[in-house]
Structures are given as structure tokens and as C-alpha cells.
Amino acid sequence: MEWLGHAKTTFTHSPHPLALTKKDGTSTDLVSICREATPPCRLNPLLFNGHLQTMWTAIKNDGPPIHYKRKLFENEDPNFKGSFAVDFVVPPFSETDESLPPRTVNFTEEEFENIGSLDTRPMLVTLHGLSGGSYEIYLRQVLAPLVTVGGDREWAACVVNSRGCAMHKITSNVLYNARATWDCRQMVKWLRKTFPNRPLYGIGYSLGANILTNYIAEEGSSCMLRAAVIVSSPWNLDAGNRALQRTWIGREIYSKTMGANMKKLIDLHYDAVSKGSKLDFAKIRQAKYLHEFDREVQGPTWGYPSEGAYYRDASSVDSLFAVRIPLFGISAKDDPIAQDEALPYEEMKQTKYGVLCTTTLGGHLSWFEVGGTRWHARPAVNFLNTMAFEVELDAPGNVIGNGLSKGEDTGDTRFQPMNRKWAP
């Protein structure tokens, strides 16, 4: 417990951080940018630990009103057949659609045909947390100050919803998991083609943060995103799973709740998921905790012999070594879900491309301040604005357009962090 909600903030990073040049010609580095982007962490003193912070998310308020128009995409890779829903931030409108989340309607065919643009606004690609969606308050609090600022510092943005989430109807038996980078990858390629002049950035939350880190690492030096923010990532899923099972509250509150949410997702989309499926739905219905759900769903679906094998293969902690764009991680040390022991402290010290900011208070995707705002939105927004408008990423010596770093020392190549076990 910190005095009156005043959390301590710590930065973990390489002793040789990524050198960058600002547009005014001055030199800086990734650590300096992350530190300057991070204001003091002053949280609601009544929510004085991670459990209270995290559980307060169940107290719903409307949050900033972000409006979306949705488009369904069919994945082009036959290994990952099925549709996924992408919600694009648009100006406010008055229409409603009861079949979609609040303030969300579908694009008309004519609207979507004309969506392409040659403008140079930065665009943010967002991935939400487990069983969430574009409606989540934690992500709207980041989007709001970016997309409503107006003028030449206004952003465009979209949210890639995981399959079956945010009232999207699953169309195949291919679900999503912690390595489900395929829909994100197709979306980034589509955005690059449709908005050729827009610099692309990413932000991921919780499970979406793990997916986004894996995607960035899989792309390596060819990543089309210029920088990314990783919020409340579980990083090491195996360590996190063991930590959840170790305590009563971790097992009976958090793991049980997340398991129930995923079972509801399966039940809701049973008709599509069950076609040609290897799943034993009787065992899935008997599952009580998240690790039991993963044992009965992720194992048979993707060929993992155990949930532990899945967690180790899907974790993004080692993926960090393959990241080749600036990455800013934000986590709370009292997070009861993405726990402190699973955070990549030693890994962050070994890569110049990442900085991890940890706060002693904040919980999971929470960081509630007095008044209900969430602190994580401020460092995330500040970092993204700095990278988009103040840093010259195309300058010599900086990270250039396709994600390569000039003069980069690749070091010992015997360890290949993305040489994963699972393959389509």
C-alpha cells in the first residue's frame, strides 16, 4: 500500500537504449522519451491495492464516447479461415444497431468503398484484452484524446476484435489464442495498402498485448508498425498461470471468472465452433478455471499436448528479443492477473528496443484516478504523440520506415526467439 495512492514508478531497460533523433535535430533515446511521457502515478487512495483497483472495473461507467463503424474481413490464409470484425473510429452519429455494441454500426457498402485516403494522419491499431472488445473503457480512454484533438495532431484509429468478441458472429471453427497474430497481420497489411501515407502504430491490452508483441516479433525488421505500447501484458503465460493457481483469490476469483467468460464465448458460437471440431464440449462445460478451459480448447484445437505447452509456446516474453521497433510496456507490480513474477525484467535489459514502466499500484488494466479516469492512458498517449509528431523515425541512425535499424548489431544468432514449436 502506497501513501494516499502515490505509486512509485520504475523503468527497466537496456544500458544502451535505442538512440533516436527528434524532428528539431536534437538527439534523444527511447528511455528518455518513455520517462518524459510518464507523469507521476497518483491513484484513487480508496483503491489502495491491486485487487481493489481490478475489481473496481466491474463498477461500470460510460467512459468517453467513441463511435465506430464496423467491417467484417475474411482471413485470406486457409489455415485461419473465418471472419473477424474491425471497428473504425468515426465522427459521432445518431444511428443505433442493437446487434452491435453501443455507438457501433456497420459500414454501408458505399461508405467502405470510399474509406481509402492519402492523408498523413497517424493511425493506431488496437488489440483488446481477453473476451473484450472495442467498447472497453480502458481502450477508449486512450483513443479519446488521440482522435478528438482536431487539427494536424489528430489520429485515426481502429480496433481489431478477437473472433467472437464484441458481438461478432464466428463463421468458422478457428477461434483465437494468445498467439493469434493472423488477423492483426492481415489488417496491418490492408491498412498499409488502403492508407499508404499514414504511419501505423499499435497498442495492445492484456491478452491483446501478448498477441501484439508476438506479431511485432514475428514480423521482425519488416514490421509495418513504427512503435507500440503494451499495457498489462501477461508476458510469461506459464508463470502467470502458476501464480493464479497458487492463491485462493487467484484461482477462485480471477481464473474462475476468465474461464467462465471463455465458456460463454464457446456456448454463444457453438454452431460454428462445433463444425469439424476436435473439441469435447462435455469436458469444456465441466471446466471451472481458465487453465482447464485452455486444456480442453487450446490443446485440441492447436495440437498442444497440455495447457503448459500452449502457455510456453504462446508467451511473448522471449518474443521481445525479436522486436525491432520502439516498444513501451506499462504494467502494475500489484496486478493480480498479469503478475509481477511474469514480467520481463531481465529480457528488457537485453534489448535496446524496449522499455518497461512498472508502477507499485494499479491492478490489471485499472490505474483508477480520483474521478474515474485511468492513469495508463496518459503515458500511452504522450508516448504515441511523441513518436508520431516529434521523433524523426526516418532519420539516419533511427528506425527507418520498414522497421530496420541502420548499423544494427545482430549479435549471437544461435538463439532464435521466434523459432516456435507450433506451425500451421
**pLDDT (0 to 100) of residue 62:** 83
DSSP class of 40: -
pLDDT at 201: 98
Name the residues annotated as catalytic: 206, 335, 364
User: Mean per-residue pLDDT for 327-340?
Assistant: 97
* Residue range 11-39: mean pLDDT, rounded: 96
Tell me how far apart the alpha carbons of residues 377 and 383 are, in angstroms, rounded to a whole number: 10
Contacts of 347 (CB under 8 A, 6+ apart): 317, 318, 320, 321, 354
Task: Name residues whose C-beta falls within 8 Å of residue 366's C-beta, 6 or more positions apart in sequence.
Answer: 47, 50, 53, 54, 56, 57, 138, 332, 374
100, three cell numbers: 452491435
Q: What is the pLDDT of residue 71?
A: 98
pLDDT attached to residue 415: 81
User: CB-based contacts of 98: which residues, under 8 Å, 6+ apart?
Assistant: none
Residue range 111-129: mean pLDDT, rounded: 96
Residues with Cβ within 8 Å of 13's Cβ and at least 6 positions away in sequence, in order, are 30, 31, 34, 348, 349, 354, 355, 356
Element (H, E) at 245: helix 237-246
pLDDT tens profile 304-326: 999 999 999 999 999 999 999 99
Phi-psi domain of 362 (left: phi exceeds 0; alpha: psi -120 through 50; beta: other) = left
- Domain coordinates in residue numbering, the chain: 3-236+326-389, 241-314
The 10s digit of each residue's pLDDT in 131-187 is: 999 999 999 999 999 999 888 999 999 999 999 999 999 999 888 999 999 999 999
Residue 231: φ, ψ to 5° = -115, 125
In eight-state DSSP terms, residue 391 is B
Q: Scanning the structure block, which residue is given the C-alpha cell 484445437?
A: 301
For the domain made up of 3-236+326-389, the CATH class stated in words is: alpha beta
Inter-residue contact 315 to 211 (CB < 8 Å): no
Whether 170 contacts 277, CB under 8 Å: no
Read off the pLDDT of each residue in 283-305 and give the average, rounded to a whole number. 94
